[in-house]
Amino acid sequence: MNLTKQKGLVLIWLLIISVMIAACGSKTDNNTGAGTGTETNGEEGTKGGNGETVTLDVSHFRTTDDAVDVLFRNTIDEFAASHPDVKLNIDAVAHDPYRQKMTTLGASGNLPDVFLANGSMLLDYTSKNLVAEWDTILEEDQDWKNGFINGAFDDFHLNDKTYGVPIQMQAVHVIYYNKELLDQVGIQAFPETWTAFTDAIKKLNDAGITPIAMGNKPNWPLGSTLFGALADRVTGTDWFNGLKDGSSKFTDPEFVEALGKVKELADLNAFNKDINSLDPDPSISMYYNKKAAMVVSGAWTVRAIAQNAPEDIKANTHLALLPAIEGGKGKAHATVGGGGWSYAINAKLEGKKKEAAIALVKSLTSQEFAQKMIESNGLPPRVVTEYDESKLSPLAIEYFKLMDGIQYGPVYDIRLAPSLVETLYTGLQEIVIGQTKPEDLAAKLQSVKQ
């Protein structure tokens, strides 16, 4: 071979190598994206029957040092280690930017392979056929399916199909009460009927104690944490479900009655007078300072009280649910809540790639994961009966016992259209200060719905 030919071959090989390096560099840039991009994989990635590597793009917002977020990321790593034929491209973005990013990706139709989606996102994605349904997968694995809490999938059930697997299951309605303050006014046990509940409110007011502390300045706390449960007690869940096909109307007597119960509480001075000008966080300070006997909030307040309340408040705080309402159609041992967020998979996945995606989601919703989640003071979507109680706060233990066998009703701001939610929650603000009548708000809601 002469010198000219040798130089030509060297140039060719240099060109090939440079192309390969450029390709690798391009791959790294795409993986990083807007968040923290990482690759978690075995030695070679998943290989299908034709020998091609199968890679999953996974997006999530579990980025903090919170125990449940750490558990999530550790489980991802464990999945990769136990599946040497799986390669995961991880895009981790903080919660608020994640919501914005997923909205943008949904508009473009360019969704990841596995990702977190809330009910509102799924409404958008399903209308464009961007996400796969889970019903067949759930039916094929009954043990996995039957381990979920009743109602866990409700927020992700659209058009008779299930498009998300819940990442959690939490109550949006819980009553936190100071037993010491109730004892002081002669209330030995938390009221079990609406009449007894309103009597307790009168006794607390007579003693100069605000019955319920609430900050409703952003308008959702009263509607989401109290009214949803109250309405469900009066109307029953079937009434709410009937809104979808028009068999139920906001002007129906039972819903007007539910709105009337809010007016009744306001007329009894059940709330702090500045309810509509106070944010949620300052309102709980009233409870910490023993100026209020009760706080109505979601399950997230369990951790807040355990971490921030004075020791005597922790010792005297117990949990309850809104009592039964005489003549109501709903169940007493029920709350409102749901999964909120879910695991979803891209509708384009098929074959080995889809199998890998399903396996990943199952690892994040397994019984083992649920047990670890509850021991991290998290709120798993599965029924967990065996766990190390020493790892939980006393209030968390009480919460999980209260939720045992609970029925979850609908959260209005998750299940209704945004225009209806805003009309309802603004209207509730007006009801508690006497600016709107229940029947007028009901008529306005029905007009907006039509």
Least confident range of 10-24, 134-148, 241-255: 10-24
Query: In order of start, what are the domains of the chain with their CATH numbers?
Result: 54-169+339-405 (3.40.190.10), 171-337+410-447 (3.40.190.10)
Tell me: pLDDT of 439 over 60.
yes
Residue 312, pLDDT > 80, answer yes
Read off the tokens for 20: 């390969």
Tokens encoding 36: 């923290």
Looking at every residue in the chain, the average pLDDT score rounds to: 87
Task: Of 114, 127, 128, 94, give the one whose Cα is nearest residue 164.
Answer: 114
Q: Above 60 in pLDDT, residue 20? A: no
Q: What percent of the chain has pLDDT over 90?
A: 65
Q: Exposed (0-12), middle (13-18) or buried (19+): which is 405, by Cβ within 10 Å?
A: exposed
pLDDT in tens, 30-51: 333 334 556 665 433 444 445 5
Identify the CA nearest to 438 among candidates 315, 280, 264: 264
pLDDT at 335: 94
pLDDT confidence bin for 333, thresholds 50/70/90: confident
Q: Is this model's pTM higher than 0.85 or not? A: no
Element (H, E) at 325: none
- Left, alpha or beta for 135 (phi > 0: left; psi -120 to 50: alpha)? alpha
**Chain centroid to CA 394:** 23
In the chain, what percentage of residues exceed pLDDT 70?
A: 88
pLDDT (tens digit per residue) in 340-397: 789 999 999 999 999 999 999 999 999 999 999 988 888 899 998 888 888 888 999 9
What local confidence, expressed as pLDDT, does residue 161 receive? Answer: 96
State which amino acid sits at residue 210.
Answer: T
In single-letter form, the type of residue at position 371 comes to Q
- Residues 6 or more apart whose Cβ sits within 8 Å of residue 86: 41, 42, 45, 46, 54, 56, 79, 80, 356, 360
Query: What pLDDT shows up at residue 171?
Result: 92
Q: Which residues contact 150 (CB under 8 A, 6 or more apart)?
A: 406, 407, 408
Across the strands, what pairs with 54?
46
pLDDT digits (tens, 9 = 90+) for 92-145: 998 878 988 998 899 899 999 999 998 878 888 998 999 999 999 999 999 999
DSSP string, 21-70: HHHHHHHHHHHHTTSEEEEEE-SS-EE-TTSPEEEEEEEE---SSSHHHH
Residue 302 or residue 161, greater confidence: 161
Exposure of 20 in the CB half-sphere (CA atoms within 13 A):
6
What DSSP character marks residue 226?
A: I
pLDDT(159) > 60: yes
Helix 67-82 / helix 367-374 crossing angle, nearest 10 deg: 150
Answer for the pair 425, 243: CB distance below 8 angstroms, yes or no. no
Alpha-helical segments (H) within 49-158: 67-82, 95-108, 119-127, 135-140, 142-146
- pLDDT (average), residues 394-401: 91
